[in-house]
Amino acid sequence: MKLIESRATLVLTYAALVFLLLVTLFPLALLLLNALKPSAQIVANPLAWPEAFRWDNFTRAWSDARFGRTMLNSATLAGLTIVLVCATSSLTAYVLARRKIRSWKILTFYLLGTTTAPIQLFLFPLYFGFARLGLVNSVVAVSFVYTALWSPFAVMLLRTYFLAVPKELEEAALIDGATPWQVFTRVMLPIVSPGILTVALIIGLYSWNEFLIALTFLQRADSNTAVVSFLLLSGQYSSDWGEIMAAALLLTLPVIVLFILLQRRFIEGMAGGSVKG
Amino acid sequence: MAEVKITGLRKSYGTVEVLHGIDIDIADGQFVVLVGPSGCGKSTLLRMIAGLEGITAGDIAIGERVVNNLPPSQRDIAMVFQNYALYPHKTVAANMGFALKMARMARPEIEARVKRAAEILGLTPYLARYPRELSGGQRQRVAMGRAIVRDPQVFLFDEPLSNLDAKLRVQMRTEIRELHQRLKVTTVYVTHDQIEAMTMADRIVVMDAGHIAQVGAPLELYDRPANVFVAGFIGSPAMNLVEGVVEGDAVVAGGLRLPLGGAVAENGRRVVWGVRPEHLTLSDTGIAARITVVEPTGSEIHVNARADEQALVAIFRDRRDFAPGQEVVLAPLPGLVHLFDAATGARI
């Protein structure tokens, strides 16, 4: 394909892209640089090249933040939340996209409204409820909270994907002898899978990074998530910045790797739902 | 294979009735085309036969069974959609075999049937491909393949050729016809294209605003349209239709005297006078007209003319020199004038 843009436009576009790339990569580079320095040198000049490479920052970060345990908790929580959100929101989105529901507008407002309600509003009542039911310190229980929080967003996103699927496909499947459940699982789900992958990635990221609820509901040391245990690395009066930087890098690494691996499908997914077929 | 019997079929959406009591008998193995302008209810009727739309009143029977309350899957029908409706995530073979898989048929049997259907439709080299890797015509063939592997009692086609280009459409028209002659399955085919209807059908059902305007063999509809609507709808270019009053051996419309050419109606009656373009010929006496546009198609010449502000079209098979602005006198061939009652539109 031949581009019609002039050379000047092209240069400007690339310049802007390079600038944005630098802005994006700068914090990561800073993180990497300082993760290898002793704390004193970071405080002296965070931009300086390390005088000596302190690889032990990583080993100390791993053991002090108990990442072996807490990352497993985070992964379990993220995995459970992804499964729950994808299962509930794909079913809901399908129904909202296909069945004629008279109160659809009210329902939309309700769903949008819930996404705008701040979590602080119902954190305490929720906590007392969970405490009474003995669900505090349970990763499964927290995944339910996350599901309730993020499902509306997932429903709204997936609904556009279901709307983009031609109705004739369902009708063809019905004539072919599929039950409504088979239409959903064998025809609709595979077609909207880019959308589901997008939802899974976003929800996974949200729940990996979530702090407030995790801190409130998962207080016991063996049920902490990685983000919470990371916070506990900084002391009230002094902090080992080298160790904190190394821990931050360890914490963001899985997310970065996942996005690099799935970026292509992720972008396809983000763009796919926007066009109604 | 089976006959399809539709009696007193009505369909309403809320208070709006879109089908007003449809009665059609389709014989076993017949190729019936439902044709009509957009919004006449032909697709709704087809979808009701398929079971995709509910029935407000009346009965649909396939074979001996009344299928009003049966879901689509139990009606033993197969449908081909306008936009093919192929499963994009399945290969051609999986698309064709899906219905058989749903019916829990054994895998070797599925493979054998898909293979046979692919051979009939020339799809064997494409069985492992995905729909997105096929051309429009090939996709249409896969959609038909999906229908024929099931060996259904009735084929339903919903404007299957509308998405294809003109040349491919003509080719697929012949293929569908050949397929029908080979399989002899009762077929209901919906189209808005009257050429498709004329060329493919054993019988045509012309629909207009939720009613049946006429049912008959293609040439019967062409030669003896039952009303003004069918007269104007079937045939391209359309029949010349002029409203006027019968006076002696002509119909008088404004300053025009349109010869009856042997047709009979009582004096003073308000009628619609109709003549097919190819039944107008040059004559010494008749309708004086001035040519506005000449359209040579190669095999024939379409002449558009005006006679006293009334547009007329004539078709000539022999090569002649016509020019815009030229004065001609046109007359209908004897016995080929159609007269319709101006009030009811019915044939006289």
Residue-wise pLDDT tens digits, B54-74: 999 999 999 889 999 999 988
Q: A182: which chain B residues are within 8 Å (Cβ-Cβ)?
A: 102
Averaged over B198-203, what is the pLDDT? 92
CA distance A4 to chain B (A): 29
CA angle, corner B169, sides to B168 and B170, nearest 5? 90
Residues A183-197: tens digit of each pLDDT: 999 999 998 988 898
Instruction: Read off the tokens for B75.
Output: 């009606």
pLDDT band at A3 (very low <50, low <70, confident <90, very high): low
Chain-chain contact of A174 with B71 (C-beta, under 8 angstroms): yes
CA-CA-CA-CA torsion sign (A21, A24, A27, A31):
negative
- Phi first, then psi: give them for residue B80, nearest 5 degrees: -115, 125
- Chain-centre distance for alpha carbon B199: 9
- Mind telling me how many Å the CA of B228 is from chain A's nearest CA? 35
User: Can you tell me whether residue B17 is helix, strand or coil?
Assistant: strand
The verdict on a CB contact (< 8 Å) between B103 and A177 is yes
Residue A38 inside a domain? The answer is no
pLDDT-derived band at A87 (thresholds 50, 70, 90) equals very high
pLDDT at A273 over 50: no
Q: Yes or no: say if A61 and A233 are a contact pair by the CB < 8 Å rule.
A: yes
| Residue A3 included in any domain | no
Chain A residues in contact with B72 (beta carbon < 8 A):
171, 174-175
Nearest to B72 among A168, A169, A175 (CB): A175
Is the pLDDT confidence value at A269 over 80?
no
Question: Is B102 close to A191, i.e. CB distance below 8 A?
Answer: no
Q: Calculate mean pLDDT across residues B290-300.
A: 92
Structure confidence at residue A265 (pLDDT): 73
A177 vs B contacts (CB less than 8 Å): 73, 99, 102-103
Using CA atoms, how far apart are residues B193 and B311, in angstroms rounded to an integer?
A: 23
Predicted local confidence at residue B84, as pLDDT:
87
Q: What's the pLDDT at A277?
A: 33
Only one residue has tokens 């036969």, namely B49
State pLDDT tens for residues A225-266.
999 999 888 876 777 888 899 999 999 998 888 888 887 776
At residue B339 the predicted structure's pLDDT band, cuts being 50, 70 and 90, is very high
Q: What is the mean pLDDT of residues A55-61?
A: 88
User: What is the structure's pLDDT at A2?
Assistant: 54
What is the separation, in whole angstroms, between the first and last Cα of chain A? 25
Of the ranges A40-54, B214-228, B313-327, which one carries the lowest mean pLDDT score? Answer: A40-54
Residues A159-164: what's their mean pLDDT? 89
Q: Would A80 be classed as within a structural domain?
A: yes
Helix (H, G, I), strand (E, B), or coil: what is residue A58? helix
Rounded to the nearest angstrom, the minimum Cα separation between A110 and chain B is: 29
How many inter-chain contacts (A to B, CB under 8 Å) are there?
Answer: 54
pLDDT at B274 over 90: yes
| A168 chain-B contacts, CB cut-off 8 A | 81-83, 85
Q: Kindly list the residues from chain A whose CB atom is less than 8 angstroms away from the CB atom of residue B94.
A: none
Instruction: Verify whether the Cβ–Cβ distance B73 to A176 is below 8 Å.
Output: yes
Mean pLDDT of A212-227: 89
Q: To the nearest whole angstrom, how far is the Cα of B127 from the nearest Cα of chain A?
A: 19
* Residues 6 or more apart in contact with residue B328 via CB below 8 angstroms: B282, B288, B289, B290, B291, B303, B305, B322
Q: Which of B72, B87, B150 has its CB closest to that of A174? A: B72
Query: Residue A270: its pLDDT value, please?
Result: 57
Cα(B55)–Cα(B64) distance, rounded to whole angstroms? 18
Asked whether residue B223 carries a pLDDT value surpassing 90, the answer given is yes
Residue-level pLDDT at A189 = 92
3-state secondary structure of B207: strand
A contacts of B97 (beta carbons < 8 Å): none
| Distance (Å, whole) CA B279 – CA B263 | 14
Beta pairing, strands B186-191 & B154-158: parallel
pLDDT digits (tens, 9 = 90+) for B92-124: 999 999 999 998 999 999 999 999 999 888 899
Q: Residue B1's pLDDT is what?
A: 67
> Between the CA atoms of B25, B28, B29 and B35, what dihedral angle is there, to the nearest 10 degrees?
10
Residue B193, CB-side half-sphere exposure with 13 Å CA sphere: 16
Q: Is residue A17 part of a domain?
A: no
Query: Does A171 contact B85 at a Cβ distance shorter than 8 Å?
Result: yes
Q: Say whether B85 and A178 touch across the interface (CB within 8 A).
A: no
Number of domains, chain A:
1
This prediction has a pTM of: 0.81
Does residue A181 fall inside a structural domain? yes
Select from B157, B153, B126 the least CA-distant residue to B143.
B157
Q: Give a yes or no: residue A274 inside a domain.
A: no
The H-assigned helical ranges of B134-291 are: 136-148, 166-183, 194-200, 218-223, 228-233
**B187 φ/ψ angles, rounded to the nearest 5 degrees:** -130, 135
Amino acid B201: pLDDT: 93
CB < 8 Å to B87, chain A: 169, 172-173, 187, 191
Res. A6: pLDDT tops 90: no
| Residue A256 maps to a domain | no
Cβ count within 10 A of residue A197: 16
- If we measure between CA atoms, which residue out of B232, B233, B198 comes closest to residue B216? B198
Provide mean pLDDT across the span B38-46: 91
Strand stretches in chain B, DSSP E: 4-13, 16-26, 31-35, 57-62, 65-66, 77-80, 154-158, 186-191, 203-208, 211-216, 240-247, 250-253, 256-259, 270-275, 280-296, 301-307, 310-316, 327-332, 338-341
Strand B250-253 to B65-66 pairing: unpaired
Note the ipTM here: 0.83
CA of residue A7 relative to chain centroid, distance: 39
Does residue A220 lie within any of the structural domains? yes
Give the pLDDT of residue A276: 33
Mean residue pLDDT of chain B comes to 91
Given an 8 Å threshold on Cβ–Cβ distance, is A168 in contact with B89?
no
> A122 lies in which domain range?
66-232
The better pLDDT of the pair A12, B263 is held by A12
**Mean pLDDT score, A137-165:** 91
All residues of chain B having their beta carbon less than 8 Å from the beta carbon of residue A187 are 87
CATH of the domain at A182: 1.10.3720.10
Distance from CA of A193 to the nearest CA of B (A): 10
Taking residues B28-38, report their average pLDDT.
92
Residue of B nearest to A193 (CA): B89
Mutate to test the interface with B, among A102, A167, A175 (most CBs of B within 10 A): A175
Q: Read off the pLDDT of residues B156-197 as tens digits, 9 standing for 90 and up.
A: 999 988 888 888 888 889 989 998 998 899 999 999 988 899
